[in-house]
Amino acid sequence: MSMPGAASESAADFGCREAPVLRERGQHEVFCGLTGIIWLHRKIQDAFFLIVGSRTCAHLMQSAAGVMIFAEPRFATAILQEQDLAGLADAHDELDRVVGRLLERRPDIKLLFLVGSCPSEVIKIDLGKAAQRLSDRHAPATRVLSYSGSGLETSFTQGEDACLAALVPEMRAAPANGDRELLVVGTLPDVVEDQFARLLAAVGIPEVRFLPARQAGDLPAVGRNTRFLMAQPFLGETARLLEQRGAGRLAAPFPFGAEGTTLWLKAAADAWDIDPAAFEAAIAAPRERARTALARHRDVLDGKRIFFFPDSQLEVPLARFLARELGMRPVEVGTPWLHRRNLAEELDLLPADTVLSEGQDVDRQLDRCRAARPDLSVCGLGLANPLEAEGLTTKWAIELVFSPIHGYEQAGELAELFARPLVRRRLLKV
Residue 56 binds ligand SF4, judged by CB under 6 A: yes
| Sign of the alpha-carbon torsion through 205, 210, 215, 217 | positive
Among 50, 64, 118, 383, binds ligand SF4 (CB under 6 A): 118
Letter string b/e over residues 190-201, b meaning 16 or more CB atoms within 10 A of that residue's CB: eebbebbbebbe
Output the smallest distance, CB 85 to ligand SF4, in A: 12
| Segment lying near ligand SF4 (by CB under 6 A), choices 49-57, 172-180, 309-317, 384-392 | 49-57
Q: Is 115 in the site for ligand SF4 (CB under 6 A)?
A: no
* 117 part of the interface to ligand SF4, by CB under 6 A: yes
Is 54 a binding residue for ligand SF4 by CB under 6 A? The answer is: yes
The region of 146-154, 251-259, 317-325, 416-424 touching ligand SF4 under the rule CB under 6 A is: 146-154
- Shortest reach from residue 118's CB to ligand SF4, in Å: 3
Binding of ligand SF4 by 32 (CB under 6 A): yes
- Residue 220 φ/ψ, nearest 5 degrees: -70, 165
76 lies in the binding site for ligand SF4 (CB under 6 A):
no
Nearest residue (CB) to ligand SF4, 61 versus 134: 61
Q: In what order do the strands lie in the sheet containing 248-249? A: 208-211, 181-185, 226-230, 248-249
Rounded distance between C-alpha atoms, residue 192 and residue 214, angstroms: 13
Among 38, 52, 57, 103, binds ligand SF4 (CB under 6 A): 57
Residue whose CB is nearest to ligand SF4 in the complex, by number: 151
Q: Report how far apart, in Å, the C-alpha atoms of 45 and of each of 107, 109, 121, 161 are.
A: 13, 9, 27, 18
* Number of Cβ atoms within 10 Å of the Cβ of 226: 23
Number of residues that bind ligand SF4 (CB under 6 A): 12
Q: Which is nearer to ligand SF4, 2 or 63 (CB)?
A: 63
Contact 185, 161 (CB under 8 A): no
Angle of helix 315-326 versus helix 411-429 axis, rounded to 10: 80
Our finding on whether 130 is near ligand SF4 (CB under 6 A) is: no
- We find the least distance from the C-beta atom of residue 28 to ligand SF4, in angstroms, to be 12
- Is residue 60 at the binding interface for ligand SF4, with CB under 6 A as the rule? yes
Contact between 53 and ligand SF4 (CB under 6 A)?
A: yes
Write the CB contacts of 133 (distance below 8 Å, at least 6 apart in sequence): 92, 96
- Per CB under 6 A, 127 contacts ligand SF4: no
Under the binding rule (CB under 6 A), the answer on residue 336 touching ligand SF4 is no
Residues 6+ apart with CB under 8 A from 364: 24, 26
Residue 98 vs 202, nearer CB to ligand SF4: 98
Other CB atoms closer than 10 Å to residue 25's CB: what's the count?
10
Residues 6+ apart with CB under 8 A from 67: none
Cis peptide leading into 386, omega within 30 of 0? no
Q: Could you say which of 151, 233, 374, 407 contacts ligand SF4 (CB under 6 A)?
A: 151
Where does this chain bind ligand SF4 (CB under 6 A)? 32, 34, 53-54, 56-57, 60, 117-118, 149-151
